[in-house]
Structure 1
Amino acid sequence: MKPIFLLITVLFVFSCGKEKVVLLPEISHSEITEIFDVSPAYLFYDETQKDSVELNRKNLISTTNWLVNVDKRLTLKQAIPLIKFIQEKKQNSSHKNEKAKNYFTCNDTSRKNLGFIEFTNVVYYLGSSNDYFKTQSKSTPKAPSIGINIDLNNNITIINPDSDHFIIQTNKENVINHLKKMTLDAKTVYLNFNKALSFQDYISFKSLVLSINKDSIYISNNEFIY
């Protein structure tokens, strides 16, 4: 029997004997709609205290699939360190299940139900992809790459060294078309997100990127928070 999920724009969670709220991020479509054998973690937003974030992970079981419920109002600066912490806990567990994965829980507005975005293999770096590659050994060959930067106002910059248009300024509505027009053979796309972006903004762009035809474009699992 398949599990039945209801659309939940707000999760009510009891933590330390108190009811707390998580506003889930929204996406227009999700390829993943059902997950079995799960345990949850919650990242709470406290609107009464600036820069306040709380992680509740007491129900996580290392051998299960993890559903990470992040309040969409949190910034990446607040959320990413705790997400990295969760990832490392699972990776370093002596009882881990190699087949168990990690997912962000979202509201799929097209289905009026829950949807999920996998981030099991995503590696988060603090800083930009340009900063990262400057630290790499010059003797290490670097494959041709394209950088996409998403700033605080959701403006998008595409940096393609091999294009006549080295830098393209665009937006979410047009970024996919720009990428499809580029010659992307043997190229990797690196995503750079401003740390002040909300988790909702991050998830919206992630969902958009996941809709790209993977045969023509490779999106790196390395993501940069600058």
Structure 2
Amino acid sequence: MKNLIYVLLLTVFFSCGNDKVVLLPEINHSEITEILDVSPGYLFYDETKTDSVELNRKNLISTTNWLINVDKRLTLKQVFPHIKYLQDKKANSSHKKEGVKNYFTCNDISNKNLGFIDFTNVAYVTDAKGYIKDLKTAHANIVILNQKNIRIITSNNNVLQTTKATLVETIKDLFQLEETLLYLEFYDSLSFQDYITIKALMTKLNLENIEISNHEIIFN
């Protein structure tokens, strides 16, 4: 399986045409390191285009797990219209297969290999005003402006300032005794690298009383 993973790494960097490179986002550790039955798609950073982004989806097969390789230099504003398009395309395919998933591909620097983040069931919300939150005993909004400026807004409207370095421990300290649903809100000027960094951190919570909503708000 490791041979397959190294082949995928080469594919990300060399198989998509003349001098086209995807700089994958880096994470310190991935819970998912092996995926079978895959097909790749690419979002390139392209300085020659007005919006600096190019989607290549010609190798995506709806009956497989999708590995979406996104250049870490792109912003969320550039990326997520394409991600939503791909999600809808797969969901509405007449050939889709039960159980196949969608993953973002990352460089797992702890293992010096590829890692993957599952986004199959994530629903990206851009109209926050029209969004009705789920009912829960308590909830909190985590607003990510950048990795050094993160706000946690509790259900009683207390606002705490934190950073990437202290985010996980702050959440654990705040909500260790109550059932809590966390909503993630991302500023759309964030780089895809910043987004993936926060997503990877959230996998470290592992607390039964804390749930992360599958609805993520992208705001400007």
TM-score (norm 1): 0.88
Q: 1:34 to 1:141 in 2, by over 3 A?
A: closer
Asked if the contact 1:27/1:108 (under 8 Å) is kept, the reply is yes
Q: Secondary structure at the match of 1:23?
A: coil
Q: 2:203 aligns with which of 197, 202, 210?
A: 210
Letter in 2 for 1:187: T
More deviation in 44-53 or 96-105?
44-53
The aligned counterpart of 1:79 is 79
The aligned counterpart of 1:183 is 175
Q: Secondary structure at the match of 2:142?
A: strand
Separation in 1, partners of 2:127, 2:187: 9
Alignment of 1:161-180 (within 5 A): 161-162=155-156, 166-180=158-172
Alignment of 1:109-188 (within 5 A): 109-128=109-128, 131-133=129-131, 136=132, 142-143=135-136, 144-152=138-146, 154-162=148-156, 166-183=158-175, 185-188=178-181
The aligned counterpart of 1:44 is 44
TM-score (norm 2): 0.90
Matched, 1:88 2:94: no
- Runs (4+) of structure 1 moved beyond 6 Å? none
More deviation in 42-51 or 99-108?
42-51
* CA displacement 1:130-150 (0-9 Å, x = unmatched): x244xx4xxx97323100001
Separation in 2, partners of 1:108, 1:183: 29
Alignment of 1:6-45 (within 5 A): 6=6, 8=9, 11-15=13-17, 18-45=18-45
Unaligned runs of 5+ in 1: none
Q: Secondary structure at the match of 1:11?
A: helix
Letter in 1 for 2:118: E
Q: RMSD value over aligned CA atoms?
A: 2.1
* Count of matched residue positions in the alignment of Structure 1 and Structure 2: 214
Q: 1:216 to 1:186 in 2, by over 3 A?
A: closer
* CA displacement 1:98-147 (0-9 Å, x = unmatched): 2100000000000000000110000001144xx244xx4xxx97323100
The aligned counterpart of 2:193 is 200
Q: 1:62 to 1:168 in 2, by over 3 A?
A: same
Letter in 2 for 1:116: F
1:215 Cα deviation from its structure 2 partner: 1.2
Asked if the contact 2:179/2:209 (under 8 Å) is kept, the reply is no
